[in-house]
Chains A and B, each alone.
Chain A
Amino acid sequence: MSDVPILLEMRSITKEFPGVKALSDVNLVVRAGEIHAICGENGAGKSTLMKVLSGVYPHGSYSGQIVYQGSESKFSDIRASESAGIVIIHQELALIPGMSIAENIFLGNEPRKRGAIDWKAANRMALDLMARVGLQEDPDTLIKDIGVGKQQLVEIAKAFAKDVKLLILDEPTAALNEADSRHLLDLLRGFRSRGITSIMISHKLNEIEAIADQITILRDGRTVETLDVKADGVDEDRIVRGMVGRELSSRFPDHTPKIGDVFFEVRNWNVRHPISADRQVCKNESFVVRRGEIVGFAGLMGAGRTELAMSVFGRSYGVYESGTIIKDGKEIVLKSVADAIDNGLAYVSEDRKAIGLNLLDDIKTSTVAAKLSKIRHHGVLNEVEEYQAAEAYRKELRTKAPTVDEGVSKLSGGNQQKVVLAKWMFTDPDLLILDEPTRGIDVGAKYEIYGIIQRLADQGKGVVVISSELPELIGLCDRIYTVFEGAITGEIARADATPENLMKQMTSTKKMATR
């Protein structure tokens, strides 16, 4: 392929956020007319790189060079990159549901005649664009009335309306069913034959293998390698190796598990999506947790791990369909979060700021928030007990804050997470479900949180850890379930767990017995 001209070259891109180096010295070379896939684990820096490219992070906020069509580009915002023909289609579609297909295609880019929108021209052009992406609908149809697969096509048509030269697709098939995915991939092939270059970010390695010409693999914000699919004979295993190939150093405290009997069990758990009732987010899932055991849930984003956890936690997500929960040999029915808390469950959410904490609160108020009954006597909350409880956890978890009167919004991510952990430890749970417990936390704080998790397990509690970082799961968990598209696809004991076999099961529906 080296004879094909280079369309885009990103040279030693480095992008820093306060405290985190999201990208360091990343290089990317995309040749005209190819489909270039970017692979990497969650947090490897794929989206950040694309945001640098599309001007979301303007020139000057990163270091390095973007050479596009032979000259250096300094995009100040998305408009600048779009006018150069670079269009990004995000995973969450940016369409307005109450507007028509034509209106959406030309949103912000409306064809005008004497100041007014020329709807006749808009509809005619929309039909033309829709034909190019193989979308057969009336341009007056509202977005909310078409399926997500067709919505994706509208997004692409929208990109064509802007005269796209380089199309970037972030997880384009994540929300699509198989038929729609196949159609989309065919479409991309069609674009390639017409000379349109695409960059595609995807977790679905089989799709990448099938469609990509080149693959660039990112890991921890660095470029690992760029593979030529045909020349290098790349297959899924090869990609996985590149994605996870980091050594597992001692990033975890030493721990000898003291595992007891099974005390918590979920059987044949079925849950539907809260809005689109035909989507099943939990498909007949079953799992067990033993006392003193740390159980991991591995899966890609959107695999349905959070949905499983939250639906178990008092049906706080989705529409419950069927399934039973057995705790200490008895079936329990948890219809609300309050039921779940009363039955000794705790759920530390994946998004601390959005749903884990009330950022207006201070540390002590947050600490007791999930079990006010513990500090309530005759209906009155005891402020001294509240203070003492919060102070005890502050010391135990070594939360860095001057006093427990400090507002949680002022704390760092790691310390906020400790407050959330304290909040749930205060409820005296038997089973703690920790959803991405170390997301957005620096390495030192991660180590401390691992220690806390291990101590909780040693107290005889069951701990479920959901994480997108495979090394974390392998380093911390005694047993790992893999989840793919709402179903549990495997169960791997710690001794057998490798990033490769986890990744394999996380990306395929084929059930493999590795026990």
Chain B
Amino acid sequence: MSRLKDLQKNLFGGTTSNARQFGMIFTLVAIVLIFQVWTNGLTLRSDNLIALFQQNSYILILAIGMLMVIVAGHIDLSVGSVAAFAGILVAKSMTEWDLPWPVAILFGLAIGAIIGAWQGFWVAYVGVPAFIVTLAGMLLFRGGNQFIGNANTIPVPEGFREIGSGFLPEFGPNTGYNNATLLLGLAAAVAVVWRELRARNTRRAMDADPAPMWVSILRMAIMVGVIAFATLRFASGRVGTSFPISGIILLVLVIAYSFYTRNTAGGRHIYAVGGNSRAAELSGVKLKRVNFFVMMNMSVLAALAGMIFVARSAASGPQDGNGWELDAIAAVFIGGAAVAGGIGTISGSIVGGLVMAVLNNGLQLEGVGTDKVQIIKGLVLLLAVAIDVYNKSQGRFSIIGSLMRPFRRDDPAAPVSPPDAEREPAKAAVSG
């Protein structure tokens, strides 16, 4: 009994186990397994996993920014249009103005920053609700995309396509696997172990008991196992394919933003503003700056997502990014964020995004039409949030908010999600 309880308490969460995220991870595992069986093993095949990542990396990147926007108590409906607008300008800059592609990427990020500053200005300094500002932005930048591109498709050069459809290079001895991916997996495994040990030390430095050693070892074993599995899958795909570049970009962003939201004053201020803006203000938080930043940051990430999409599809078109905002928002809410703000985590949003992605992918593999896929996705979103609301009203797991804080050490790891949600050294999964 006590061992079981220990396990429950400590494996994926802390003393106050993160029930919602815990639930989402299991939902993700369940969905993966169901589709794995249903599709006769197609879901976890190398080529499918790789495609899954390439097809969803931009949505997951948007989810990172959207999480911060939603935690601060806002919403951004314009991300799809901003992505398309940045995409067409970047495509044009390379084909017509002959910008070299690395410069074009910087150009694209700058466009995102300018758009974000525009939207941030209205939200933070004028006080127009973000819903309205970004609804306007949605129209504005969709129109902008079609105005600039004449509603045509503009192809992009080879080098640029790498960020959307490229893979880690092949090098070194012939191991039968992609060596770069193997190294990445090894680094991830080391990072997971290092983080666990460091977290135990932190816990001790606080005069608190770390989780029982066997729990830590079990947790590390599960995570390393998952990483090993994923690594081998990604490394053993068709020759020339491996872990996608867009996956690497996503990974870096997840690690960086998780660290930012959990371990810096700036990140904490976002949660403070979303939790109680007046209290935050009276604690010296510069409200306007925080609001400006989250809106601007979102547009920069939207521009990046747009570029990755353009790179993957080899051309920028007038319908790019249609409906992305809804996918990103759904990912964030399925991942446990609160509509009222103040609550949510990057890792949760990534898990939420992956739930939707696997669902999408699995249903498509089974030849289910987009009509039904949409119906199912809609119901999943509604159900996920409804269960949360119901549980809260029953006082089942008390204030979910206090459980979901990103800077708590009891933030659960994502044991079975594909590797990117795993490899954040910042996300210490210690128990208390």
Does residue B408 face the partner (Cβ distance < 8 Å to A)?
yes
- Assuming the contacts A358-B342, A380-B263, A383-B202, asked whether A337 and B405 have C-beta atoms less than 8 A apart, the reply is no
User: Of B207, B278, B407, which contacts A383 at CB under 8 A?
Assistant: B407
Does residue B218 face the partner (Cβ distance < 8 Å to A)?
no
- Assuming the contacts A358-B342, A407-B402, asked whether A349 and B282 have C-beta atoms less than 8 A apart, the reply is yes
In the complex, which residues of chain A have a beta carbon less than 8 angstroms from the beta carbon of B202?
A: 383-384
Interface residues of A in 341-359 (CB under 8 A from B): 341, 347, 349, 354-359
Is the beta-carbon distance between B282 and A360 smaller than 8 angstroms?
no
Q: How far is the CB of A499 from chain B (nearest CB, A)?
A: 31
B266, closest chain A residue (CB): A379
Q: Mark A365-407, 1 if CB is under 8 A from B, else 0.
A: 1000111110010011101100110010000000000010101
Segment of B57-65, B113-121, B268-276 engaged in the interface with chain A: B268-276
Q: How far is the CB of B132 from chain A (nearest CB, A)?
A: 19
User: Of B208, B275, B278, B343, which contacts A354 at CB under 8 A?
Assistant: B278
User: Of A354, A362, A388, A423, which contacts B402 at CB under 8 A?
Assistant: A362
CA distance A67 to B147 in the complex (A): 76
Does residue B393 face the partner (Cβ distance < 8 Å to A)?
no
Does residue B280 face the partner (Cβ distance < 8 Å to A)?
yes
In the complex, which residues of chain B have a beta carbon less than 8 angstroms from the beta carbon of A373?
A: 265
Does residue B364 face the partner (Cβ distance < 8 Å to A)?
no
In the complex, which residues of chain B have a beta carbon less than 8 angstroms from the beta carbon of A371?
A: 284
**How many contacts between A and B, using CB within 8 angstroms?**
112
Is the beta-carbon distance between B280 and A358 smaller than 8 angstroms?
yes
CA distance A379 to B259 in the complex (A): 11
CA distance A405 to B410 in the complex (A): 10
Does residue A409 face the partner (Cβ distance < 8 Å to B)?
yes
Does residue B146 face the partner (Cβ distance < 8 Å to A)?
no
Output the residue of B281, B283, B342 with the most chain A CB within 10 A.
B283
In the complex, which residues of chain B have a beta carbon less than 8 angstroms from the beta carbon of A357?
A: 276, 279
In the complex, which residues of chain A have a beta carbon less than 8 angstroms from the beta carbon of B264?
A: 376, 379-381
Is the beta-carbon distance between B275 and A355 smaller than 8 angstroms?
no
The DSSP consensus for interface residues of chain B is loop
Is the beta-carbon distance between A347 and B282 smaller than 8 angstroms?
yes
Does residue B16 face the partner (Cβ distance < 8 Å to A)?
yes
Does residue B155 face the partner (Cβ distance < 8 Å to A)?
no
Q: How far is the CB of A211 from chain B (nearest CB, A)?
A: 38
Is the beta-carbon distance between A387 and B206 smaller than 8 angstroms?
yes
Is the beta-carbon distance between B286 and A405 smaller than 8 angstroms?
no
Is the beta-carbon distance between A365 and B342 smaller than 8 angstroms?
no
Does residue B401 face the partner (Cβ distance < 8 Å to A)?
yes
Is the beta-carbon distance between B275 and A359 smaller than 8 angstroms?
yes
In the complex, which residues of chain B have a beta carbon less than 8 angstroms from the beta carbon of A354?
A: 276, 278-279
User: Of B278, B280, B402, which contacts A409 at CB under 8 A?
Assistant: B402
Is the beta-carbon distance between B268 and A381 smaller than 8 angstroms?
yes
Q: How far is the CB of A395 from chain B (nearest CB, A)?
A: 11
B280, closest chain A residue (CB): A358
Does residue A316 face the partner (Cβ distance < 8 Å to B)?
yes
B201, closest chain A residue (CB): A384
- Assuming the contacts A337-B284, A360-B401, A407-B399, asked whether A355 and B279 have C-beta atoms less than 8 A apart, the reply is yes
CA distance A361 to B407 in the complex (A): 10
Is the beta-carbon distance between B284 and A338 smaller than 8 angstroms?
yes
CA distance A314 to B282 in the complex (A): 9
Is the beta-carbon distance between A337 and B283 smaller than 8 angstroms?
yes
Does residue B374 face the partner (Cβ distance < 8 Å to A)?
no
Output the residue of A360, A371, A380 with the most chain B CB within 10 A.
A360
Does residue B74 face the partner (Cβ distance < 8 Å to A)?
no
Is the beta-carbon distance between B405 and A361 smaller than 8 angstroms?
yes
Size of the chain B interface, CB-CB below 8 angstroms: 37
Is the beta-carbon distance between A341 and B284 smaller than 8 angstroms?
yes
Q: How far is the CB of B94 from chain A (nearest CB, A)?
A: 35
In the complex, which residues of chain A have a beta carbon less than 8 angstroms from the beta carbon of B432?
A: 403, 405
Does residue A410 face the partner (Cβ distance < 8 Å to B)?
yes
Is the beta-carbon distance between A359 and B276 smaller than 8 angstroms?
yes
In the complex, which residues of chain A have a beta carbon less than 8 angstroms from the beta carbon of B342?
A: 358, 360
Is the beta-carbon distance between B286 and A384 smaller than 8 angstroms?
no
CA distance A403 to B408 in the complex (A): 13
In the complex, which residues of chain A have a beta carbon less than 8 angstroms from the beta carbon of B343?
A: 360
Is the beta-carbon distance between A376 and B409 smaller than 8 angstroms?
no
Does residue A336 face the partner (Cβ distance < 8 Å to B)?
yes
B281, closest chain A residue (CB): A337
Interface residues of B in 368-408 (CB under 8 A from A): 398-399, 401-402, 405, 407-408
Interface residues of A in 304-337 (CB under 8 A from B): 313-314, 316, 336-337
A340, closest chain B residue (CB): B284
User: Of A313, A341, A365, A409, which contacts B407 at CB under 8 A?
Assistant: A365
B199, closest chain A residue (CB): A383
CA distance A336 to B271 in the complex (A): 20
Does residue B205 face the partner (Cβ distance < 8 Å to A)?
yes
Interface residues of B in 299-351 (CB under 8 A from A): 342-343
Is the beta-carbon distance between A405 and B408 smaller than 8 angstroms?
yes
Is the beta-carbon distance between A403 and B275 smaller than 8 angstroms?
no
In the complex, which residues of chain A have a beta carbon less than 8 angstroms from the beta carbon of B205?
A: 384
CA distance A371 to B268 in the complex (A): 12
Q: How far is the CB of B383 from chain A (nearest CB, A)?
A: 24
Is the beta-carbon distance between A361 and B286 smaller than 8 angstroms?
no
Does residue B150 face the partner (Cβ distance < 8 Å to A)?
no
In the complex, which residues of chain A have a beta carbon less than 8 angstroms from the beta carbon of B8?
A: none
- Assuming the contacts A358-B279, A384-B206, asked whether A372 and B407 have C-beta atoms less than 8 A apart, the reply is no
Does residue B15 face the partner (Cβ distance < 8 Å to A)?
yes
Q: Mark B173-204, 1 if CB is under 8 A from A, else 0.
A: 00000000000000000000000000000100
Apart from A316-B281, A369-B280, A387-B206: 6 A-B pairs, beta carbons within 8 A:
A336-B286, A354-B278, A356-B279, A362-B405, A376-B265, A407-B398
> Can you sample 22 A-B contacts with CB below 8 Å?
A316-B281, A341-B283, A356-B282, A357-B279, A358-B271, A358-B276, A358-B280, A358-B342, A359-B399, A360-B402, A361-B402, A362-B408, A369-B268, A369-B272, A372-B268, A373-B265, A379-B265, A383-B263, A384-B206, A387-B208, A405-B408, A409-B399
Give 8 nearest A-B pairs by CB, closest first.
A407-B402, A358-B275, A360-B401, A372-B265, A370-B283, A338-B284, A360-B275, A387-B206
